Amino acid sequence: MKPKIITRIITEGDSLTDRGTASKRPILRCFSDLSKSPQGRFTNGYAWSDHIVARFISEFLIKSFKKKGMEATDISDSILFGETKIEDAIQHSYSLDNDLYVKYKGIDFVRSYDEGGLTAHDYRWALSYSPVRFFTRLILSNLGLKRQKLLDYDQEQTIPRAQKEQTLIIEWSGANDLITVNARPSHVEADLAIRARIKNAEELIKNGYRHFVLFNLPDLSLTPRYQALGGAELENAHECTDYFNTELAKACHELSIMYPHCSIELFDVNSIFTDAYQNPEQYHFAKSKREKPYSTSPDFKINEDGTSPASGYMFWDDVHPSADMHALLADIFYEKYAREYNFSAPNKKAAENEELFISEKKLRAAFVKKYSSLLANQALNLHPDIEYETASLESIFKEGLREETLTHRVITELQWVNSQGKLNLNIPALKEAMARAMAGEERHAEHEAKCF
């Protein structure tokens, strides 16, 4: 199978992905160490999300230079010797100065919906025994609010469905649910965060997006904060992170079964952090600095040129990674997903409705998963209108083409049909089943007319 074409990226996340949004909110600057950040990120330089943008755009530029007849050695020599044409092409191709988007040659490539402090679950107005935590819950953003901004922009700009189908959604949240707006990590908060993250993906699927990478959480017990606390708090942080990641993996797997026309990937950040922590020298970190935050160390300084190198440090403060750790994450992300997707420079027109070959078995499994999940929701008080566990695709369409039925709701939520009942996905198995169902209905109608 050919890798799916990706021409745009949308990120949703918290301080781990934030490219400067929180630094523009004075109230958030007051409650953080952003004054010690030279680039307005929650680190001593650029975040992984900056690095990955630069990496992909560099590849786009190299491809464009090669199309003009330049070899790899010509390109590298031109850069080394400061050839004006090449330098100008690079300088004017993109900028990381805007926290909300990155354009490549004037066209949106990345849209950022990230903000320090963001929670997955919406905790606004949720009471807390702590006045500080209650206030924190009020001022912090959440995944639902960012998603609404994303969808509002889509509507305002009339983003076509074909463009959404070539967009990769990268989402990383949940840490603040465990350690910022609650007293200590627990399974309850983990479950709420995971539910919000899965709902976020489902809502975006309903709005035409197909490709997702969800990050899991790094082991919170490895951060300087919990290393300093030690004992029961450290053990609890480790156990809750492990629980969170296990449940998130299960939820992502179920989502991929329900929506086989989508790619839903889980990026294992936890393994990367853990390996770097256990083998620091292998990644150019110092074992003696693993448990020390750079921002409060004697080594901390911001140079006159605006840089603040944290040589050997894994962490910038007591919970956030250093810029070197961010760069490591970006490198591993790139190496993994540059093989799984075909990242291409954004263009103004995307290819229309690519044909997808998904087996009837997978489609029926998706139907059963979605149907049973709706039935299991007691608040909806729904009742089966079809033998859903054994129904063929043709039977599903026969029932589903009638509005006001549960089957119609299911195939609409699965994106098989749109709100007008027309086929939404270019999948041969669905086309054939729908054609048979409609032909059967026509024959039935003709027979009824003759009898009448």
Q: Which of 17, 442, 330, 373 is nearest to 195 (CA)?
A: 373
Residue 348 lies in a domain: no
Same-domain status, 238 and 364: no
> How many structural domains comprise the chain?
2
What does the pLDDT read at residue 76? 66
Mean pLDDT check: name the lowest of 35-39, 151-155, 345-349, 393-397.
345-349
- Strand-pair partners of 341: 4
CATH number for the domain that contains residue 212: 3.40.50.1110
Residue 310 lies in a domain: yes
Same-domain status, 81 and 214: yes
Please say which residue of 278, 310, 343 terminates a domain: 343
What does the pLDDT read at residue 334? 98
What does the pLDDT read at residue 190? 98
Residue 393 lies in a domain: yes
Same-domain status, 167 and 253: yes
Mean pLDDT check: name the lowest of 96-110, 169-183, 322-336, 347-361.
347-361
Question: How confident is the prediction for the chain on average, in pLDDT?
Answer: 91
Q: How far, CA to CA in Å, does 130 sit from each of 122, 138, 190?
A: 17, 13, 20
pLDDT tens string 260-289: 999 999 999 999 999 999 999 999 999 999
Q: Strand ranges (DSSP E) for 177-262?
A: 211-215
Same-domain status, 187 and 113: yes
Same-domain status, 242 and 108: yes
Q: What is the mean pLDDT of residues 414-422?
A: 91
Residue ranges making up the domain that contains 45: 4-343
Confidence of residue 26 (pLDDT cuts 50, 70, 90): confident
Residue 349 lies in a domain: no
Same-domain status, 332 and 193: yes
Same-domain status, 308 and 213: yes
What does the pLDDT read at residue 29? 73
Confidence of residue 67 (pLDDT cuts 50, 70, 90): confident
Q: What percent of the chain has pLDDT over 90?
A: 77
Residue 264 lies in a domain: yes
Same-domain status, 429 and 296: no
Residue 352 lies in a domain: no
Residue 373 lies in a domain: yes
Residue 250 lies in a domain: yes
Question: Token pair for residue 315?
Answer: 């962490």
Same-domain status, 137 and 189: yes
- CA 360/CA 119 separation, integer angstroms: 38
Q: Strand ranges (DSSP E) for 105-158?
A: 107-114
Same-domain status, 23 and 172: yes
Same-domain status, 447 and 324: no
Same-domain status, 307 and 406: no
Contacts of 244 (CB under 8 A, 6+ apart): 174, 178, 190, 193, 194, 216, 217
How many helices and strands in the chain, by DSSP H and E? 17, 8
Q: Strand ranges (DSSP E) for 14-142?
A: 101-104, 107-114
